[in-house]
Homo-oligomer: A and B are copies of this chain.
Amino acid sequence: MDEARQIAVLLLTCPDRKGLVSRLSHFVYEREGNILDLDEHVDAEAGRFFIRVAWDMDGFTLGRDKLTAAITPLADEFQASWSIHFSDEVARVALLVSRQDHCLQEILWRHQLGEFAIDIPLIVSNHEDLAPLAAQHSIPFHHLPVTAQTKPAQEAKLQDLLVNARVDTVVLARYMQILSAAFVAGWQNRIINIHHSFLPAFAGSDPYRQAFQRGVKVIGATSHYVTADLDEGPIIEQEITRISHRDSVPDLKRKGRDLERLVLARALRLHTESRVIVCNGKTIVFD
């Protein structure tokens, strides 16, 4: 990707009606924007329209600061939910971890390779184990141990850390604590979790043992936005792998780690490239 290029991405959903694509693409065209990518979807059953439009800001006649004001009347007319993103405003991502390093390693390695357009201003953990890995990548590491008693206070500290670091996306990279409903409410569709099963199968704890005991022939991993209902949030990405009776629980965990790394990385990529719209508890993913 040409890094100097400024690209605007509009995500929008509204009740379906005639002329939506035309009027939105015309909005860009009449301001001299070149549409690089446009993807739209109509859920015919729900009568709902979804669109992602990406255009080159080079030569665009409207300043970036005036764009929101210009879109608002159109969006209001359409009764739309929408958001606008710019390619040079990279997502500020906080990584929350516990003891297992595989998801953290994966994200840091891909980040180093330039696969994500993100900054990682901090890593937070309820354990100290992964501090050296954070140090290797020169990322500030915060140790916030959690007990039943200290949880509210520690969540308040976490909130302060995130706000101070101007974080907009939180990734639970195998963070083994359940965030409170109050905390989650403040970060709607901005906390990404990796669950180590093919949801809705084997929700809850120890899914690999559940899978082993049930004798399934396929296991999976699921990345989803976190909601107050555990393991019920909108699914962003899933992947599976075949297993057999030869696989013990440790084998399932090993194979599962590979799935978790891949699925969480894909979900983070989709989210930070503004490819996901959440609507009625599920996602539209423009990939």
Contact = CB atoms under 8 A, between A and B. Distances in A.
Interface in A31-66: 32-45, 50
Contacts of A237: 217
B217 A235 contact: yes
B254 A238 contact: no
Interface in A228-287: 234-235, 237-240, 244-246, 248-250, 254, 258, 262, 281-285, 287
Contact of A215 (B136, B246, B250, B281): B281
Contact of A198 (B201, B215, B283): B201
Interface of A: 1, 17-23, 25-26, 28-30, 32-45, 50, 102, 105, 109, 113, 115, 136, 198-202, 213-218, 220, 234-235, 237-240, 244-246, 248-250, 254, 258, 262, 281-285, 287
Nearest to A115: B254
A39 B52 CA distance: 11
A218 B198 contact: yes
A37 B49 CA distance: 10
- The A interface, classified by DSSP as helix, strand, loop or mixed, is mixed
A191 B19 CA distance: 36
B37 A28 contact: no
Contact of A41 (B25, B235, B245): B245
Nearest to A269: B254
B215 A234 contact: yes
Nearest to A250: B1
Nearest to A243: B238
Contacts of A240: 218, 240
Contacts of A35: 18, 20-22, 40
A58 B152 CA distance: 53
A283 B248 contact: no
Nearest to A254: B115
A22 B28 contact: yes
Contacts of A136: 136
B38 A18 contact: no
Contacts of A287: 244
A209 to B, nearest CB: 10
B23 A18 contact: no
Contacts of A282: 213-215, 245
Given A25-B25, A201-B201, 9 more contacts: A20-B35, A22-B28, A23-B29, A25-B26, A37-B40, A50-B245, A198-B198, A215-B282, A218-B238
